[in-house]
């Protein structure tokens, strides 16, 4: 079975500081991993996804994530936070077959000025 | 761009009412999904559909049913709404039934059951 753990339900950073949102996964098959972002009062939007082509994945808005099999991790980073990055971020892993996803509990990112 | 629309942003219903949540996608996607989102629990899959008139239960189907009569439309039905169904409901769609395909989400319906 697949599962995702997001460490830290709330993360607070200063504007311009590094953003690091943690995601660890468990999967009985080679994993495919996704990061989605949800801005206030909106649906989810794909930030990036790992589909085994490259371990370092670049996404929209300057975010990137690195797949580390030995650590079963897929942490999301951004070198310099902007106020507009304040949102909730979800990590997800695909199940064994088909297009279903298992989501983590989410991390709310707050950016301080 | 893919567009997924949901019939209402906010909905208030009374206990025992039958509730319909509608979702429409405009990109000829095969798959459609209904999730509920609760703080601290992330998104949980209620039902999904991989073809017209086809449906499969997700992780939390109890108290819900679905209907997909046309490819672009996927309805979630609460047969007899209860207060514990107060939540944010998100619809999503994807083109293919592959593990790498992206799901596209609607804006959500915040349902309150009194």
| Span A24-35, pLDDT tens digits | 999 988 899 999
Minimal Cβ distance to A99: which of B58, B94, B105:
B94
More confident residue, A76 or A54: A76
Instruction: Assess whether pLDDT exceeds 90 at residue A64.
Output: yes
The rounded distance, in Å, linking the Cα atoms of A69 and B61 is 33
pLDDT at B8: 93
| Residue A76: closest CA among A91, A96, A61, A87 | A91
Query: Considering only CB atoms, which chain A residues are within 8 Å of B44?
Result: 103
Task: Quick: pLDDT tens for B10-49.
Answer: 999 999 999 999 999 999 999 999 999 999 999 999 999 9
CA distance, residue A80 to nearest chain B CA (Å):
26
- The label of the residue with tokens 């509608």 reads B22
Percentage with pLDDT > 70 across chain A: 100
Number of H helices and E strands in chain B, helices first, is: 0, 11
- What 8-state DSSP symbol labels residue B73? E
Q: Which residues of B are less than 8 Å from A49 in CB distance? A: 100, 102
Q: Does B96 touch chain A (CB under 8 A)?
A: yes
Structure-model confidence comparison of residues B96 and A15, the more confident one: A15
For A14-54, write each residue's pLDDT tens digit: 999 999 999 999 998 889 999 999 999 899 999 999 998 89
pLDDT band at A96 (very low <50, low <70, confident <90, very high): confident
**How crowded is the C-beta side of A56, counted as CA atoms within 13 Å?**
3
User: Is B54 an interface residue toward A (CB < 8 Å)?
Assistant: no
Mean pLDDT over the full length of chain A: 95
d(CA B53, CA B70): 8
């Amino acid at each position: 079975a697949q599962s995702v753990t997001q460490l830290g339900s709330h993360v607070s950073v200063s504007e311009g500081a590094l953003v690091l949102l943690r995601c660890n996964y468990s999967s009985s098959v080679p994993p495919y991993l996704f990061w989605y972002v949800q801005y206030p009062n909106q649906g989810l939007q794909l930030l990036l996804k790992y589909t085994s082509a490259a371990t370092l994945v670049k996404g929209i808005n300057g975010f990137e994530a690195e797949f580390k099999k030995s650590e079963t991790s897929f942490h999301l980073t951004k070198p310099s936070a902007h106020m507009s990055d304040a949102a909730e971020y979800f990590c997800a892993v695909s199940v064994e077959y088909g297009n279903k996803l298992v989501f983590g509990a989410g991390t709310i990112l707050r950016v301080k000025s | 761009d893919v567009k997924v629309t949901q019939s209402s942003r906010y909905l208030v219903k009374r206990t025992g009412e039958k509730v319909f949540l509608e979702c429409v996608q405009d990109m000829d996607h095969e798959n459609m999904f209904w999730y509920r989102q609760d703080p601290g629990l992330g998104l949980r899959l209620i039902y999904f559909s991989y073809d017209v008139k086809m449906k499969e239960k997700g992780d939390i189907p109890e108290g819900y049913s679905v209907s997909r009569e046309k490819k672009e439309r996927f309805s979630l039905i609460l047969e007899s709404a209860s207060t514990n169904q107060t939540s944010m409901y998100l619809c999503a769609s994807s083109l293919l039934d592959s593990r790498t395909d992206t799901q596209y989400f609607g804006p959500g319906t915040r349902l309150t059951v009194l």
